[in-house]
Structure 1
Amino acid sequence: MIKSMTGFGKSILQLPTKKITIEVKSLNSKNLDLNARIPSQYREKELKMRNTIAKSLVRGKVDFGLYVEITAEETSTKINEAVVKDYIKQLEAIHTNGDALEFVKMAVRMPDALKTVREEINEKEFQAIESSLQDALNAIEKYRIDEGEALEKDFVLRVKNIGELLEKVIEMDPERIEGVRERLHKAVSDLKEDVDQNRFEQELIYYLEKFDITEEKVRLANHLEYFTSTLNSSDSNGKKLGFISQEIGREINTIGSKSNYAPMQQLVVQMKDELEKIKEQLLNVL
């Protein structure tokens, strides 16, 4: 079973005085790249929440947001009376005939005129936040699994296509080898000279071995089977599948370079096209 690195999860927690919304979004990345956006009063719990997210998501470019909306009638932002009164006093000293209401409007816009009362996080509230965070992570996990199922279907199709093209290569190989023999015979006959038949047979064997792709065909078939078995394993092995796809590409390239036969090289191009589509999608696999 494979999972996609792409996903989105959201949960909403309603507390007596506030509503907390948690959002987690992930995209593909080689490693875990976690960006957290949370209010300052929850900073002391940031590391613990980061560890929870990292343990669950493992890999990907992750954006984590915790948003707080105050629903109670009271606000945590208060007017700093002492500071505002001092500002008004200074303004009156500068302009004795000024309007008192205008002085107040000016004073509340001055630095430190407003103060925010920092709330302490109680453990009961944070336990509720942790539970809500886990709900968001469960949602993103389901999203990743669903995306992974779609990717798996595409991989199965691409591997099947490469396997079918390999079968055509295997069927075509005797014809290719015979073509190589005929070209060498024709080249020798065009020289219109007598040649040592034994030496010619030795050279023929040498060139046939040079163009032989038996090992490559076997290894490619094994790699395709290994890719499929890894795809069906219980874990999501994006990196491992990437390594196997590199080996598949190596065998396909070798077959292409050794084939020296246009119809077979056309099949190789088709195999490369299917493999390239696999590699593009593997970037999204966890």
Structure 2
Amino acid sequence: MTKSMTGFGRGTARHELLAVTVEIKSVNHRFHECSVKMPRMYAEAEDKIKKVISSYIKRGKVDVYISVESEKPNSHKLLVDWELLDAYAQFVRDASDRYNIEEDLRVRDLLKQTDAFTAVEIKEEHSADDVILSALNEACRKLSDMRTNEGKELENELLYQVQSLKQNVEYAMEISPQVSKKYKERLEKTIREYTNGIDENRLLTEVAIFAEKADVTEEFTRLLSHIKQFENALKKNEPIGRRLDFLTQEMHREVNTVGSKAGDERVAAVVIDMKSILEKIREQVQNIE
């Protein structure tokens, strides 16, 4: 199944007084890259979030935005560094004895030692994670559906372009054998114009050398093989973007070779058409997972 690398999905979930909204978008990228933006207090869930995303998306740059709203009043607890307070109280007593100064240590004096007190927010981590993942899965499903639908359109376009390329290859194969014949006729005409006779052996040798240099049978064979592999890849139910990109490059290389070897204006015109088609294929392949 052909999938596009671009898409968008949005998911929401609620639990008691907790509401989560997840938005996820993906664009073209050589590899899989994921960026998650969410409230810092839920950062511990990032690994779970990326694991879910990787189950849906194998290739592409993914940006995830998570917002969490809680209607429940925040509750806090106080963490006390008792060792620091003990040291402070002992210091006051030691200083009083050392300098014969009467000093009553009161609670308000201890409260001034702000480094000894930390207020932390109490949150229900597990239930929040469940809500986040629920919204995330909904967003990923919608994103995946969008990528699949766009992938079908890309597949249809690629099949059309590949068929057009194949037709051009078959036409070029038909006219290529005529290249040597035309070369022989031109060479024979030139020799007649500048000499009194024709050395048939020399003529046949020159034509044979040209035919060998202009032979593009192997290139056409490989080109048709790449086209068949390309069509088969489109039927696979797995990420195929990199494979299609590689096959497109190989087809382009074979077409370039044909253009450089076949010294005929008709073949050259077909080569230009094939290059144009391959450029369209290359642009479309860049969007496939």
Q: Is the 8 A contact 1:238 1:285 kept in 2?
A: yes
User: For residues 119 and 284 of structure 1, what CA distance do their matches in structure 2 show?
Assistant: 45
Deviates more, 1:15-24 or 1:180-189: 180-189
Deviation at 1:255? Answer: 1.2
2:29 corresponds to 1:26 = no
Q: Is the 8 A contact 2:25 2:64 kept in 1?
A: yes
Deviation at 1:193? Answer: 5.4
Residue in structure 1 matched with residue 178 of structure 2 by the alignment? 175
Residue 204 to residue 176, structure 1, CA distance change in 2 (3 Å):
closer
User: TM-score under structure 1 normalisation?
Assistant: 0.80
What do the CA deviations read for 1:221-277 (whole angstroms, capped 9, x no partner)?
111111101111222311011111111111111111112111221111111111101
Cα RMSD for the two superposed structures: 2.1
Deviation at 1:56? Answer: 2.5
Residue in structure 1 matched with residue 7 of structure 2 by the alignment? 7
Q: Is the 8 A contact 2:7 2:26 kept in 1?
A: yes
**Which of 267, 270, 280 is residue 267 of structure 1 equivalent to?**
270
SS state of the match for residue 33, structure 1? strand
**Which of 184, 200, 204 is residue 201 of structure 1 equivalent to?**
204
Q: Is the 8 A contact 1:22 1:64 kept in 2?
A: yes
> Which protein shows a greater Rg?
2
Residue in structure 2 matched with residue 96 of structure 1 by the alignment? none
Deviation at 1:76? Answer: 7.0
The aligned runs of 1:83-102 (5 Å cut-off) are none
User: For residues 253 and 189 of structure 2, what CA distance do their matches in structure 1 show?
Assistant: 33
Q: Percent identity?
A: 33
Q: Is the 8 A contact 1:165 1:271 kept in 2?
A: yes
Q: Which runs of 5+ in 2 are unaligned?
A: 77-117
Deviates more, 1:118-127 or 1:3-12: 118-127
The aligned runs of 1:115-194 (5 Å cut-off) are 118-192=121-195, 194=197
Residue 10 of structure 2 aligns with an amino acid whose one-letter code is K
Residue 201 of structure 1 aligns with an amino acid whose one-letter code is L
**Which of 222, 244, 248 is residue 251 of structure 2 equivalent to?**
248
Runs of 4+ in 1 over 6 A off after TM superposition: none
Q: Is the 8 A contact 1:76 1:116 kept in 2?
A: no
User: TM-score under structure 2 normalisation?
Assistant: 0.79
2:67 corresponds to 1:67 = yes
Q: Is the 8 A contact 2:20 2:66 kept in 1?
A: yes
Residue 133 to residue 116, structure 1, CA distance change in 2 (3 Å):
farther
**Which of 203, 226, 229 is residue 232 of structure 2 equivalent to?**
229
